[in-house]
Amino acid sequence: MKYELDVSNRLKNLMQLAAPITVADIEASIKRFVLNNREVETYADSTGYDLIYDGERYPPKAIFGLALSSILDEQIHSYHFTGGLGSECFKVLTRLNFEIVSKVGRPIKELGLTPESKFPKETRKTKRPMIIGDIPGIREGHYFKDRKEMMPSSFHRVWTSGIDGNGKQGTAAIVLSGGYSDDADYGDEIVYTGAGGNKEGKQVGDQTWLQPGNAGLLTSMDQGLAVRVIRGHQHKSPYSPKSGYSYAGLYRVVDAWQEVGNEGFRICRYRLVYSDENPDRIPSDNTNLEYLKKTNERRAGSILRLVRDTKISKSIKKLYAHQCQVCGTAIRTKNGFYSEGAHIKPLGRPHDGDDSVDNLLCLCPNHHVMFDKGMFSVDDDFTFLGDAEGRLIVHPNHHINLENFKYHRSSHGYD
């Protein structure tokens, strides 16, 4: 932030900074807001008041924030200033003769506003619904001239963001457009960088899981929801079109973690694998690459997956008699006992963990899921960090590579 903030992280001299804002700036912000599916990062819907423009209601703080970001050439978030009655935000809007009304005040019809729109009819439509999975009439390989062509069908509803999603519903679609240098595209497998902290193609700040798009991809992973993947011509990949955008098919999010990116900031990362059913599709040439230190089979199907060495997993389960190394529980079944072998450092791109005893834990299903999703981690002295208490149970004959725990901690923000 190149502008001075107070102890509450709010902009100082806001009225002075906002002085250049014009009516045209506010109108342009309203149009951007509508084209962006009525969503602005870090801004929620207004709780008590609405800005009235052309017979429709808009959240005044978000509209003001967009205008201020534009004239300052700096991303201004909701926490950088206050809204509400008496706020500098409302003073600027009323100075420009925009009307702000209470949500429980007069109905819009009583405001005496002109019904004619200053925007094209398309931009005044109500919020488009989110559609997960296939959309009728749009098959894999479909070509779009630009992002705008994707919006009427809800194929990708957001004009300016790569991720069309939120933490509540999941993610419907993502666009690979070359905005992040850390992205990797292997065809049937994609390592995708989340949203936030990026300005003009350069990472200038850390990303968080709370950003709506990032949270949406986590929800899709947790619920097994398919995500439409679109490749843009700006995306540096042999699979990208030379112009416009092409639909790559349905993918599933199979992994999520954090790491320090190429530009030194913490970024959210996701691994997506192709999961569509297209009989005419030619699999990527990369599907047979070995990417473990030990040899593993790689096979392609409707979902790409790694065939693990079950002998190693069985040996660790036998060592602990199927008792979870976190809670000590051994789950009894009709055939004996059940446990799961959990890799500390995940297998496969881009983690490249080993399928070996020093990278395996014996866990119950609950703690396996919690560990994989970073709800807890393990320190070098085997004490738990996060949502687990106590110490990891470690058999004297189980020699764990502590570098793997270090990697897990870093991936999930425990470093």
Question: Domain check: are 262 and 353 in the same one?
Answer: no
Is 291 among the domain residues? no
Residues 280 and 317 in one domain: no
Classify residue 100: in a domain, yes or no. Answer: yes
Q: Which residue has the tokens 């990949």?
A: 237
Q: What is the dihedral of CA 41, 42, 46, 51, to 10 degrees?
A: -50
Q: Are residues 266 and 173 in the same domain?
A: yes
Last residue within a domain, chosen from 251, 285, 319: 285
pLDDT in tens, 254-266: 988 888 888 888 8
Q: Which of 232, 252, 285 is the last residue of a domain?
A: 285
154-172: pLDDT as tens digits: 999 887 788 999 888 899 9
Task: Measure the CA–CA gap between 28 and 67, rounded to whole angstroms.
Answer: 8
Tell me, yes or no, whether 293 lies in a domain: no
Q: Between these two residues, 288 and 213, which has the higher pLDDT value?
A: 213
Which value, to the nearest 10 degrees, does the dihedral of the CA atoms of residues 149, 153, 159, 163 take?
Answer: -120
Considering the domain architecture, whether residues 239 and 158 belong to the same structural domain is answered as: yes
* pLDDT tens digit sequence for 301-344: 323 334 344 688 889 999 999 999 999 999 987 777 889 999 99
Q: Which domain holds residue 160?
A: 143-285
Is pLDDT above 90 for 2? no
Q: How many domains does the chain have?
A: 3
Q: What is the mean pLDDT of residues 370-380?
A: 93
CATH number of the domain that residue 172 is part of: 2.30.280.10
Instruction: Judge if 318 and 406 occupy the same domain.
Output: yes
Q: Is 361 in the same domain as 401?
A: yes
- Looking at 285, 317, 339, the residue that finishes a domain is 285
Whether 190 and 102 share a structural domain: no
Cβ proximity of 11 and 80 under 8 Å: yes
Burial 244-253 (b: 16+ CB within 10 A, else e): ebbbbbbbbb
Nearest to 81 by CA among 172, 176, 4, 2: 4
Residue 34 lies in a domain: yes
Helices (H), 97-195: none
Domain assignment present for 181: yes
How is the chain split among helix, strand and coil, in percent rounded to 5? 25, 25, 50
Residue 342 domain-assigned (yes or no) = yes
Mark whether 278 and 345 lie in a shared domain: no
Q: Are residues 319 and 393 located together in one domain of the fold?
A: yes
The residues with which 253 forms a beta bridge, in sequence order, are 272
Beta-carbon count within 10 A of 193 CB: 25
Domain check: are 151 and 120 in the same one? no
The stretch 39-60 carries a mean pLDDT of: 82
Q: What are phi and psi of 149, to 5 degrees?
A: -65, -25
One domain for residues 317 and 368:
yes
**Cα(149)–Cα(208) distance, integer angstroms:** 30
1, part of any domain: no
Residue at 299 is within a domain: no
Specify whether 74 is located in the same domain as 36.
yes
How many CB atoms sit inside 10 A of residue 177's CB? 18
